[in-house]
Amino acid sequence: MKALILEDEDSLREILRIILEDFNYEVEEARSLKEGLEKLKKDNYHLIIADLRLPDGSGMEVVRKAKSVKESPEVIIITAYATTETVKEAFELGVYDYIEKPFKLEELKLILRNVSEKIELKEELRKEEFPGFIGKSPKIERLKEQIRKIAPYDVNVLILGESGTGKEVVARAIHQLSNRKDKPFLAINCAALPSNLLESELFGYRKGAFTGASSDKKGLIEKAQGGTLFLDEIGDMPLELQSKLLRFLETKKFIPLGDTKEREVDVRIIAATNKNLKEEIKKGNFREDLYYRLSTITLEIPPLRERKEDIPLLVEFFARKFADKYKKELRKISPDFVKSLTELPLEGNVRELRNIVEREVILMEDGILGKNYAKGKEQPIEEEVKIPEEGINLKEVISSLEKKYLLEALKKSNGVKTKAAKLLGLTLREFNYRLQKYLPKEGRFE
């Protein structure tokens, strides 16, 4: 990592160099505004430490210049002359932090430790060859190596993993690293549709094949010609459909509903499930011959609890993604927030972590993610009854209390409505009905 020190005081510049080198930075120095701007033109830096008061101008010119590019460096300001306006502008530009002179070395080292972790995470994300598939743990590195090896070969792949581990992300990574990457990648959840609808979605139909079939329709198998078809939750595919899929895997041919002519396509099949298919075979719910056709190669995604060292990297990835989506300024991520997340069971795996980070980005203030996050320390809902002399509007009180409980339940369930409904002793339908009363058209709480 490269760092630039912009400071005219020789002794302080020497101290900063020693500290930065201890953090494994390759350090360059500038003594003036002119020299700092020239350095920025010639090289790229991961970190800039800048004094605002320089012999020939303000260090803010360097900050503005550095922060004007897309992949901008992190910036720490050190100054004894910061005004409220200057500090405000600095943070609006995305400066990581600032320290007032004189300062304690331990204070600076703590800031450097945190900003260095952020820079390292950014660098790892930038180099990531598997878009959206984030992780550097040994188990994930082994999985990535398996993906690299199998991706070029047109074999069927079965992906195993708990709900929320990222099975579709792995399937997309295989497709992107294959010779089919310029062809379609299509996905369908086999558990989301009833048998007859799933069959028509997969294999298509001819006009008049059934009531409502007013025109011909291509199925996903045909639409994915030359590319990849991802069958998610394959363990939930109805038995009667399994035999038709098996025949397609054996011959690469199929007959649309209501048709009599076979069609042949070139499609790679990747399937995924969170079920134990061998147990489903014993129960008679899944065909053994289909299982062996699908599982030419089997990949298993580890649950998040077995790779907790990947959580900081995932938090950084999702935080940047959602900050960009919701047009929020993200200056830093609270270390306590990340620590709290590593202590959670995260039974919903990456999906649950993603939901938590998204919620915290929406609630974020001052550009610091997770600043007010407190695992297991939710504030109790006020229940003390007080009636003023002038009386109350009971309907408004009840509505307010109901809204608070709905919010609290959503918070405790990390946004999973089925869990939130269960916490309140409601059915999902009842929960959604009550929730809808407080939701405006854009889908957020009033």
Residue 356: pLDDT over 80: yes
The Cα–Cα gap between 44 and 59 comes to: 17
Backbone angles phi, psi at 185, to 5 degrees: -115, 115
The DSSP call for residue 118 is H
Q: Which range has the worst mean pLDDT, 246-255, 304-313, 342-351, 417-426?
A: 417-426
pLDDT at 230: 96
Mean pLDDT, residues 317-325: 88
- Whose tokens are 């009905």? That residue is 433
Q: Which residue has the higher pLDDT, 54 or 85?
A: 54
pLDDT at 278: 94
Question: How far is C-alpha 109 from the chain's CA centre?
Answer: 30
3 state DSSP class of 365:
strand
Mean pLDDT, residues 128-143: 82
22-52: pLDDT as tens digits: 998 999 999 999 998 998 888 889 999 998 8
The listed CATH number (3.30.565.10, 1.10.3430.10, 3.40.50.1460, 3.40.50.300) that belongs to domain 144-302: 3.40.50.300
Residue ranges of the chain that CATH labels 3.40.50.2300: 2-127
3 state DSSP class of 414:
coil
Residue 446: pLDDT over 50: no
Q: Which range has the worst mean pLDDT, 300-314, 342-356, 403-417?
A: 403-417
Helix-strand-coil split of the chain, %, nearest 5: 45, 15, 40
Domain spanning 2-127: CATH 3.20.20.140: no
Mean pLDDT, residues 251-262: 89
pTM value is: 0.62
Residue 110: pLDDT over 60: yes
For the chain, what is the mean pLDDT? 85
Q: How confident is the model at residue 273 (pLDDT cuts 50, 70, 90)?
A: very high
Highest average pLDDT, of 120-124, 311-315, 414-418, 442-446, comes from 311-315
The Cα–Cα gap between 217 and 203 comes to: 9
pLDDT at 402: 82
The DSSP call for residue 257 is B
The listed CATH number (1.10.287.3510, 3.30.2130.30, 3.40.190.10, 1.10.8.60) that belongs to domain 304-377: 1.10.8.60
pLDDT at 381: 43
Residue ranges of the chain that CATH labels 1.10.10.60: 380-446
Share above pLDDT 70 across residues of the chain, in percent, rounded to a whole number:
92
Residue 420 CA: distances (Å) to CA of 14, 162, 164? 56, 21, 18
The CATH class for the domain spanning 380-446 reads mainly alpha
